[in-house]
Each structure stands twice: as structure tokens, then as C-alpha cells.
Amino acid sequence: MHRFYFLLSTLFIMAQGYAQQTQKPPLHGKHWMAVTGKPLAATAGAMIFQKGGNAVDAACAMLAATCTMWDVLSWGGETQALIYHPKTGKVIAINALGVAPTGATPSFFRQKGYNFPPEYGPLAAVTPGTPGGLCYMLAEYGKLSLKEVLAPAMEMAAGYPIEAQTANSIEREKKMIKEWPYSKAVFLTHPGEQREAPEAGEIFVQKDLLATLTKMVEAEQEALRMKKSRKEAIMAAYDRFYKGDIAKEFVRGCQEQGGLITMNDLAKWKPLEEEPLHVNYKGIDVYKLREWTQGPMLLQSLNILENFDLKGMGYNSVEYIHTLYQTMNLTFADRDFYYGDPYFSKPPIQGLLSKAYAKERAKQIHPDRNDPDAGPGDPYPYEGKTNPLLHFLKEREAMKDTTGNKKPGDFVPKHDVTTAYAPVDSAYKDRLWRGTTSVEAADAEGWVVSITPSGGWIPACIAGRTGVGMSQRLQSFVLDSALNPFNVIAPGKRPRVTLTPSLALKDGKPFIAFGVQGGDTQDQNLLQFFLNIVEFGMTVQQATEAANINTNQLWLSLGGTSLKDRVPRAGSILLHINTPEKTRAALVKMGYQLKFGARTSGPINAILIDKKHGSLWGGSSNHGEDYGIGW
């Protein structure tokens, strides 16, 4: 009991911004800061800084290392980044998300009996984006060579002591891994034994991946010998991956195992540099990637929340939790219907990010109860247009109840009803939280980088002898226009992803770089992290550890094979286990189904730029293996 009240008092003190003690210490640096999902990968970033690289160089080194360590991603995945350029004063968006391959159509997957593209295997793959994204960022904004930046990852591919998290994940997933010969050869280092995966601390060797990275560096070095510029040399490595012998082996290995990716798919794909989206929240400009990610959902939420006195409500009070939950339900409803690849069709993003639209959405929040029917709004009038999609909205509403017997007043679909204090559904939680990693870097020159890469997580299907695990991102498409007319699968199209790096500027200068893993929970946790600092005065480390809430009243972006697996769970909310009983009782009366967890903040990584003192504050979550180094 004493411990319980101590924890409650600690949370209260944290809310006032006065607490000094956290489970992990805050990071401090004067010259640079490197934070990511694995200790060895953070060390790789530190090594590059020590060589004279800038934050882009270090971020690329951390990205390469996390891919090599299978930190819930691999080299065949996708990379999404925001970069602050100190010389131009602008935030740059990098879109290195792969596209659906040739033949990936709704009819193709329906004929195979799918309601969504599959979760795993070669048919789940979009084209690789991370190698191209890394090369592009490094060539345009870094200082060092590809050889220097990839050196830590290549040393690791030659053999590094694997950590328990990845080793145990391989063992858990070995049945599926055995379906793919190239994956089996890499991951199952003790075939036929009781434990076939590597042991924690075992030197894990990836000869094929090392060969692939070596070929890329060879291409760069040959171009330099031919008097090519630094940028041209790095892009020669890019070309070898997407158009040369690496591409040929990748495609051969993919198609041998039943995948669709062609040489033309790889050759036509390229990373894109974009203008990010942003809104101003109480004098702070918050930047996110475009509507091919879920990032604008956080921006919409800030627009709505501006209409409420959050600080006056108090951190994680009943009123605050309710207002957050209802706001996120509205913005997720818009995400789930209106977001998609803007290069195929034009989502109404101007209307969605309109302050006037947000004010109208704020009026829809019931102050005393959950709205189980919160749905997409109509942003088109805020662009001076008429909504052409209203007929889809009616079809879509019927899909929310997969049982056919929804009654007024039901707060969750019938198949999900348990009790007011609902147990955590482990399969659902896995789909909701399905992870990635985050990479944050900053330096004294003013470069700031936030990356949320993903794809090719274990169990990954490795493409031939490349050592490269293929992405599983195709599953984030839909096959039915009524679910989301902007996100229906088509060859050459990008799926609407959950991956969502963040940058905030104050007075036109970098303020915070922040990111998190966790599927559909990413922008939920990032929104609360930001509010923890801006509204409640927490330090960056306190904000990474603070108790958050998660809503499950959204369409899942990952996992499951049927509508039933992905439908919104109206009123379902995740709370911290130390939530006071009075708060619990009040939320139940408002129509919430409560679930609890000891970790509700997600593995957030962040860097705060302290202009007053000319220093950097790093925050690295107490959630998992995330780690940072500063100097």
C-alpha cells in the first residue's frame, strides 16, 4: 500500500515538472547526441560522431546497425525521416517507403482468399526502401563516405554478440522461419537441437549480408577511383543494390519463394524528398511526414486539443484522459478513411489540418461519455469542395460490427465484450503494438534527425543469398474502397503506414526530435510525450517514462486476416496499472473498457535542444533496450 501511494505521489510530482528521479538517467551532451533502439547501435552512432560525422552520418550508421541487428526491422524494410537543415533553417522529409510490386492487386489477393494482404512471407513485401533512403540521406546531407558510415554495421555482420531479445524472438518464430530456406540458413544456427536459435551472447554471423554491404561499398570506392564526386559514388552503391547484381539476386530469391517483386519494380523505385506537414501548437511548430503515414493524426489531434485547457485539467485526470481518448478517436477515424499515398490520389489534407475543421470536431466530443460511433468527419468543405466519398462512409459503418447484431449502446463489438476490467488480448496487442525502432541524432552544428524505420522483422523471409529480409508492409493496404478509398492496393503504390518520426521547432529553431516504435500506438504515445513537456513541464526523460493511455477504438493497420481482427474496439482503453481506483470507476461509468499495463508509454527516444544553456538533453525510454550516448 505504501508503495502504491508513493508511485501515485511520484506521478503527481512528475506532472508538476519537479521530479528529478527517473528509472533511467537523463542524457546530457554539448557536442552531439545519439539515441536509438539498441545499445550497440547507439555506439555505432557515437563512433561516427567521433570520426567527425554530422548527425545525418551518425543517424545513417545507427540505421544500418539496427537493420543488421534485426531490431524489429532489417535491410529490406522502409525508412521515414525528418531532417532539420541548419543552413537553410528548413525541415526536410524523406520518403523511403517501398511500393507494391507488379501484380499486387485486390483481385490477386482475393483470389487467394485474403481479406488483407498477408502478414508474413514473400507476398507481404513491398520493395526495399532502407538501402535507398540511407544512401540518399547520406549523399545529400552527410559528410562521410558510405564506407565509413557502414563500417560498424559491416563489422557486426561479420559477427556480433546477439542479445537475448532478438535471439529469443528467433526461437519463438522458428516454425515459420523454417518455411523459407534462406531465412532458416541465417537464423537457425543450431539446426536439429532443442534450441535452434542462437543463444544470448553468441557471436551471430551473417556472411550473405556482409557480402551485400561489401558490394555496395565496392561500388562506391570504384566510382571514387574513377574521379566521381562523393554524392555520385554513394549513388553508385545505390544503383548496384537496385539495378545491379544485388538486385538480380534479391529478385531471384524473392520470386523463387513465391514473391512478386521484379527487376523493373526495383529499378523504377526511388526515395523522395518532400515538404513535411506541420501545425503550430501554442507557438511551437510540430512537423510530421505526409499522409502516406499516420503522422498527420498527431497534428490533427493538437489542433483539436488547442480548444481545451489541458493543463487546467491536470495530468492524467479523468477529464484529461477522456478528452485525449475522444480526440484520438476522431483523428484515427479520419486517418483510417482519408490517409493514403498522395502520388496516386489526393487526400483532403488541407481540410483535415484546418483549424476550423478541428474546432468543429472538438464540438463533437461528449464531455461525460465515450462515443462508440465516432467516425470520419467531412473535411472537404474546409477546402471549398464537396465530399465525393459519402457513399463509402455508409458502407464502411456497416463493417464495424462483424457480428451482425450490434445494438444501440454497445461500447464494443459483441465478440470483444468481456468485463469492465478487460484482460489484455495478446494477439490483438501484438497487432496493435507491432514494433520497429527509432533513431534520433543531433549535433552542435545544428543538424537534427528523426527516423522511424521498420519492415523485415522476425520472422523475416530473406531474399536469396543477399542476407536481406523482405518487408512485411504490404499488409497495411486494404482491398476494399469502403474501408479507405485512398489506401487500396495497386502496383507502384505506397501503403499508408504507422511509421512516424517527429520534429518540433520553437522560435524557428530545433526544439525536440522524437520517435517511438509500436504500430498504431506510435502517435498516441508521441502526442502525450509532447504534451508532457509542453503542458506539464516534464523533462525529456520524465516524458519518455510517464504513464500514457492508449485507445483501441481504431482500425488496426497491421496483422490479422479478417475484418474481425482489425475492427475498432469501442471504449477499449489501456491504462497504467497504478491508475487510481477513483479514476478507474469514473471511466467505467463513462463507457470505457479498461485494460492495464506496467509500461504504457512505448519505447520513446528523444532529444531536446536546450537553447538557453547551449546543450542537448536526451531521453531514452525505460520500456526496452533503447539506449543513448551523448558528448
pLDDT for 384-416, tens place per residue? 999 999 989 878 777 765 443 333 222 222 222
Per-residue pLDDT, averaged over 60-87, amounts to 97
Amino acid at 161: P
pLDDT surpasses 80 at 184: yes
Q: What per-residue confidence (pLDDT) applies to 174?
A: 97
Residue pair 254/73 in contact by the 8 Å Cβ criterion: no
- The residue from 458, 491, 516 where one domain ends is 516
What is residue 628's three-state secondary structure? strand
Report if residue 1 sits inside a domain.
no
Report if residue 445 sits inside a domain.
yes
Residue pair 329/273 in contact by the 8 Å Cβ criterion: no
Q: What per-residue confidence (pLDDT) applies to 431?
A: 43
Residue pair 82/75 in contact by the 8 Å Cβ criterion: no
pLDDT surpasses 80 at 49: yes
411 lies in the same domain as 545: yes
pLDDT surpasses 90 at 421: no
- Worst-scoring range by mean pLDDT, 134-143, 313-322, 397-406? 397-406
DSSP string, 295-341: THHHHHHHHHHTTS-HHHH-TT-HHHHHHHHHHHHHHHHHHHHH---
pLDDT surpasses 80 at 564: yes
Q: How is residue 30 annotated by DSSP?
A: S
315 lies in the same domain as 444: no
Residue with cell 466519398: 389
61 lies in the same domain as 187: yes
pLDDT surpasses 80 at 622: yes
Q: What per-residue confidence (pLDDT) applies to 436?
A: 76
Report if residue 420 sits inside a domain.
yes
Residue with cell 508474413: 120
Name the more confident of 430 and 586. Answer: 586
617 falls in which pLDDT band (50, 70, 90)?
Answer: very high
Report if residue 8 sits inside a domain.
no
What the block records as the C-alpha cell of 607 is 532529444
Q: What per-residue confidence (pLDDT) applies to 409?
A: 29
Q: What per-residue confidence (pLDDT) applies to 415?
A: 23
Amino acid at 245: D
Q: What per-residue confidence (pLDDT) applies to 561?
A: 79
253 lies in the same domain as 264: yes
Q: What per-residue confidence (pLDDT) applies to 427?
A: 54
CATH number where 327 lies: 1.10.246.130
pLDDT surpasses 80 at 160: yes
Number of domains present in the structure of the chain: 2
Report if residue 614 sits inside a domain.
no
pTM greater than 0.95: no
10 falls in which pLDDT band (50, 70, 90)?
Answer: very low
Per-residue pLDDT, averaged over 40-66, amounts to 98
189 lies in the same domain as 223: yes
What the block records as the C-alpha cell of 270 is 526511388
Per-residue pLDDT, averaged over 579-593, amounts to 98
335 lies in the same domain as 388: yes
155 lies in the same domain as 241: yes
Per-residue pLDDT, averaged over 436-443, amounts to 94
Q: Distance between CA atoms of 391 and 610, rounded to whole angstroms?
A: 50
DSSP string, 142-178: --S-HHHHHHHHHHHHT-EE--HHHHHHHHHTHHHHT
pLDDT surpasses 80 at 251: yes
pLDDT digits (tens, 9 = 90+) for 259-315: 999 999 999 999 999 999 999 999 999 999 999 999 999 999 999 999 999 999 999
Q: Distance between CA atoms of 280 and 537, rounded to whole angstroms?
A: 18
Range of the domain at 300: 277-432+525-597
Q: How is residue 66 annotated by DSSP?
A: H
Residue pair 281/306 in contact by the 8 Å Cβ criterion: yes
562 falls in which pLDDT band (50, 70, 90)?
Answer: confident
162 lies in the same domain as 299: no
pLDDT surpasses 70 at 33: yes
What is residue 219's three-state secondary structure? helix
87 lies in the same domain as 180: yes
Per-residue pLDDT, averaged over 161-185, amounts to 96
pLDDT above 70 covers a percentage of the chain that reads 91
Q: What's 490-515 look like in SS3?
A: CCCCCCCECCCCEEEEECCEEEEEEE
Q: H-helix or E-strand containing 35?
A: strand 32-36
- Cβ neighbors of 111 (< 8 A, separation 6 or more) are none
15 falls in which pLDDT band (50, 70, 90)?
Answer: very low
pLDDT surpasses 80 at 14: no
pLDDT digits (tens, 9 = 90+) for 345-379: 999 999 999 999 999 999 999 999 999 999 999 99
Q: What per-residue confidence (pLDDT) applies to 11?
A: 43
pLDDT surpasses 70 at 434: no
Q: Tell me what the pLDDT averaged over the chain comes to.
A: 92
| Spacing of C-alpha 434 from chain mean position | 9
Q: Distance between CA atoms of 322 and 361, rounded to whole angstroms?
A: 15
pLDDT surpasses 50 at 12: no
pLDDT above 90 covers a percentage of the chain that reads 86
Report if residue 605 sits inside a domain.
no
154 lies in the same domain as 229: yes
58 lies in the same domain as 144: yes
Report if residue 626 sits inside a domain.
no
Report if residue 544 sits inside a domain.
yes
Q: What per-residue confidence (pLDDT) applies to 425?
A: 58
pLDDT surpasses 50 at 6: no
Amino acid at 433: W
287 lies in the same domain as 267: no
Q: What is the CA radius of gyration of the chain?
A: 23
pLDDT surpasses 60 at 17: no
